[in-house]
Structure 1
Amino acid sequence: MTQEFPRTATVRGIELGRARPEIIVPLVGEDEEAVLAQAQAAAASPARLVEWRLDRFRPDLRGAEAHREAALATLIPLRGRLGADRGLLVTFRTPAEGGQRPIEDRDLGRLLEALVTAHRAGAQSPVDLMDIETARSPEVVERVIGTAHGHGVVVVGSFHDMAGTPEVDAMVEMLRGQRRLGADVPKIAVTPHDGHDVLRLLSASLTVEADRVGPHIAISMGALGAVSRVAGEAFGSAATFATVGEASAPGQLAAQDVARMLELLRP
């Protein structure tokens, strides 16, 4: 008998992988006041998911422990500002991944685990989704994914190529490999140099979508790849990243514009 797999990942009633791609907007504030102000703006946008970019938070704090404690102190006020209907994704990107701050694998694991477990016993985690770059230490990746799943947190397993676009087969294998590691939502973001690169990314996304084993996210970055941010439903990608204010990656468009285009381009 053929095994059935869930095709969606659900947080706060939001199903990633069903119908129109979800819009995710980043919070890139450098301190609590800025993060909360951006969260309030995000809550008034069409986006139902919000990404807190921890590598952009408190650049004045150089030590991993001090940074972690500051993030924990901001987490609960942030959760309150977003309200009950919006999902919170926590993400840390290093410079090699398009981010702003380096971090050791061990410290990254401690940060993510502290955030997803920052709640009373029996209560829902304030974090709904957690991003982990799957090229990190296998031991750290395995432990963080296990902790997240143990607290009901959806895992986004990600890969970023800031220099180019791999071949189709390589991107397909990356996405499938992330799912084998335990990611609920595999994610790949690549850099195109011409239209053929964008087409390769879209082809890889379609191939993985045909597996019908769950949602994934596939993005071609920069202005050249902007079509991948608004045509995800036709090519199998479950979410797209847009802005309410400052962008967190090249090629992000305004959330209001993306929402309108997603409806106009619905297949």
Structure 2
Amino acid sequence: MTATVRVPGRSIVLGEGRPEIIVPLTGADITRVLEQVELALEAPARILEWRIDLYRQELDAVQHRAEVLAALPAVRGAMGEKHALLVTLRTSAEGGAREVSDQGLAEMLEAVIASGHTDLVDVETSRGAEVVAHVVAAAREQGVLVVGSFHDFDATPGEDELVELLRSQRRAGADVPKIAVTPRHANDVLRLLAASLRVAADGDGPHIAISMGTLGAVSRVAAEVFGSAATFATVGDAAQGGASAPGQLAARDVERMLELLRP
């Protein structure tokens, strides 16, 4: 039996039943982010991911951190108690909007965790082991879950490498390991799905495995069949709630497909 992970204080259990739908908040300012929250609350999603690298991109690192921390209470408060907030600072090294040093990433994530206004944080596990360890330790102390992430926007690694990536993320302390890779042909998607099944068979806890782009869309809607605990989807139009990665589908379409494809 696969281990599950409950989001503290929420009735959300990852790795149990239908995969969770996660909706990104990609607004450039607080007005747009709060508009996206309002849209997301009407969608079939219980986890909202605030992509803070896309927020106030014109600011330097110090100003950006201050603005994110100032906005966090409003963003979390607008969501209510039934939803969980995942805060993600996606760096330019993995397809994000800000160039961030290891130290800068750790400082931002630890400040977000200490604020008490997030339920989950994302940390890129390709960063230095010390950075990941510091973020994990801070999250443990505050009861915040850690999504350990890896992205490849150029290709799909081999199946064994994908399996090891997910397992190594869990060893590093991630509550929910995550990989998102780019397929160039159908066999790449098959490798991603096969790797996801192998890691699910470990029974050590939930993970997220995504093949990006149109070619990989099947991995988003058949997540439960292949052992992935969550998928990402959008709400609104491109201006209101745009995708945060290639291949994301509308949340209601994903919900319908997840139900149709339940094993």
Same fold (TM over 0.5): yes
Does residue 26 of the first structure (1) align with residue 24 of the second (2)? yes
Distance 2:107 2:39 in 1: 29
Structure 2 residue corresponding to 1:246, chosen from 235, 239, 242: 242
In structure 2, stretches of 5+ residues that fail to align are: 236-240
- The one-letter code of the counterpart of 1:222 is G
Tell me the equivalent position of 1:108: 105
> Match of 1:121?
none
CA contact (8 A) 2:2 2:201 kept: no
Contact 1:96/1:162 (8 A) holds in 2: no
Residue 230 (structure 1) aligned to one of 198, 221, 233: 221
Q: Report matched runs for 1:2-21 at 5 Å.
A: 7-11=3-7, 12-21=10-19
Following superposition, the deviation at residue 154 of structure 1 comes to 0.6
Deviations 1:183-219 (A, max 9, x none): 0000000000000000000000000000001000000
RMSD, aligned α-carbons: 1.0
Letter in 1 for 2:61: A
1:80 aligns with 2:71: no
Amino acid at match of 1:187: K
User: Of 68, 71, 95, which residue of structure 2 is paired with 1:71?
Assistant: 68
Is the aligned partner of 1:95 residue 2:92?
Answer: yes
C-alpha displacement of 1:137: 1.6
Q: Distance in 1 between matches of 2:2 and 2:253?
A: 31
Corresponding residue for 1:40? Answer: 38
Q: CA deviation at 1:6?
A: 7.0
- Helix, strand or coil at the partner of 2:224: helix
User: Quick check: 1:260 aligned with 2:249?
Assistant: no
Identity %: 61
Distance 1:117 1:217 in 2: 25
The structure 1 segments of at least 4 consecutive aligned residues displaced by more than 3 Å after TM superposition are none
Q: Which moved more, 1:22-31 or 1:37-46?
A: 37-46
Q: One-letter code of the match for 2:3?
A: R
Residue-by-residue CA offset, 1:132-186 (whole Å, 9 max, x unaligned):
0001121111001100111000100011011100000000000000000000000
SS at match of 1:166: coil
Count of matched residue pairs: 256
> Normalising to structure 2: TM-score of the pair?
0.96
What is the one-letter code of the residue matched to 1:101? R
Alignment partners' CA distance in 1, 2:217 and 2:51: 21
In structure 2, the residue matched to 1:186 is 177
Letter in 1 for 2:66: E
Task: Report whether the alignment pairs 1:162 with 2:153.
Answer: yes
1:212-223 aligned at under 5 Å gives the runs 212-223=203-214
- Contact 2:51/2:90 (8 A) holds in 1: yes
The equivalent of 2:238 in structure 1 is: none
Secondary structure at the aligned position of 1:210 is classed as helix
Alpha-carbon distance in structure 2 between the residues aligned to 1:102 and 1:95? 5
One-letter identity of the residue aligned with 1:132: V
